[in-house]
């Protein structure tokens, strides 16, 4: 069974503009953050998806080196913006483009040596400082930067795996040889889960029922949001028709049927929800 574990974070700032332009060499980070924090400033470059002006750090040299648990958090944050990025630096008092201190500080992101490919050395699940509801240490990936891009054929599978741990999560990276706590490769590999841009809200583009190898299912599981409390009983009843162990874990008010028509009352994502107490949380 494919395993997934996540390390989610609060708001984190990412520097992407300089990275997109490329650098002749890897920038050197200082041993400690500078007393004067870096600030995000607008550039003349545009985000190809939104058309908004991209931001960049005014003083990359103000960042300090990042390592340990903070490196893992930063790598995940950078990968959420673009899977081929990792965190090279961190400043606890980094400022946004309005000059305000950003909650959680800011990371300086830079292309990984392995790009968007899985690293030769696989990531491994290790006990974290956080504990699950059972009182046992949660598990987290030791090297998020070792993950590569999720293959298109595995994206839906990965999103479902992440959603089972939390509807607000999606799969942003994958490694075919990801290892468990004992160091042995996990059957099916492992996914790295991170909070969706829409969080637990439904995506603007609705999911649609499609057939794959004769089996009916949703084309974009990550498009579902949380099931509203008022609809939970109805959703569970709908899902129970597919099996007594099934329950509604996601809902989209504009979900489409196989013919592309809106489903009256919306659509539910059904699954047997596993115990996620040992999944790393922030």
For residue 234, give the H/E element and its range: helix 232-240
- DSSP SS3 for 80: helix
pLDDT digits (tens, 9 = 90+) for 111-133: 999 999 999 999 999 887 776 66
Enter the tokens of residue 145. 């930067």
pLDDT digits (tens, 9 = 90+) for 134-182: 677 788 899 999 999 999 999 999 999 999 888 999 999 999 999 999 9
Closest CA to 190 of 225, 142, 222: 142
Closest CA to 106 of 21, 7, 11: 11
Q: Which residue has the tokens 């903070």?
A: 70
């Amino acid at each position: 069974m494919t395993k997934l574990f996540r390390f989610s974070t609060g708001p984190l700032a990412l520097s992407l503009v300089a990275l997109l332009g490329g650098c002749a060499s890897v920038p050197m980070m200082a041993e400690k953050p500078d007393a004067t924090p870096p600030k995000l400033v607008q550039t003349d470059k545009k985000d190809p998806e939104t058309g908004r002006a991209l931001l960049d750090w005014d003083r990359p040299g103000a960042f300090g080196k990042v390592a340990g648990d903070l490196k893992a958090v930063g790598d995940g944050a950078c990968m959420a913006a673009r899977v081929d990025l990792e965190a090279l630096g961190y400043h606890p008092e980094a400022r946004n483009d309005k000059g305000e201190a950003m909650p959680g500080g800011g990371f300086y992101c830079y292309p990984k040596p392995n790009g968007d490919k899985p690293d030769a050395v696989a990531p491994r699940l290790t006990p974290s400082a956080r504990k699950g509801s059972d009182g046992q240490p949660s598990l987290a990936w030791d090297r998020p930067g070792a993950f590569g891009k999720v293959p298109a054929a595995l994206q839906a599978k990965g999103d479902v795996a992440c959603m089972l741990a939390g509807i607000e999560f999606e799969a942003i990276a994958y490694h075919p040889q990801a290892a468990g706590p004992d160091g042995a490769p996990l059957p099916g590999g492992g996914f790295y889960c991170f909070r969706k841009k829409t969080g637990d809200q439904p995506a603007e583009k609705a999911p649609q029922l499609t057939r794959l190898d004769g089996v009916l299912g949703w084309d974009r599981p990550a498009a579902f949001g949380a099931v509203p409390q008022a609809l939970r009983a109805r959703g569970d009843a709908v899902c129970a028709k597919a099996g007594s162990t099934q329950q509604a874990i996601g809902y989209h008010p504009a979900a489409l049927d196989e013919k592309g028509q809106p489903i009256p009352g919306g659509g539910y994502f059904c699954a047997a929800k596993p115990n996620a107490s040992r999944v790393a949380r922030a």
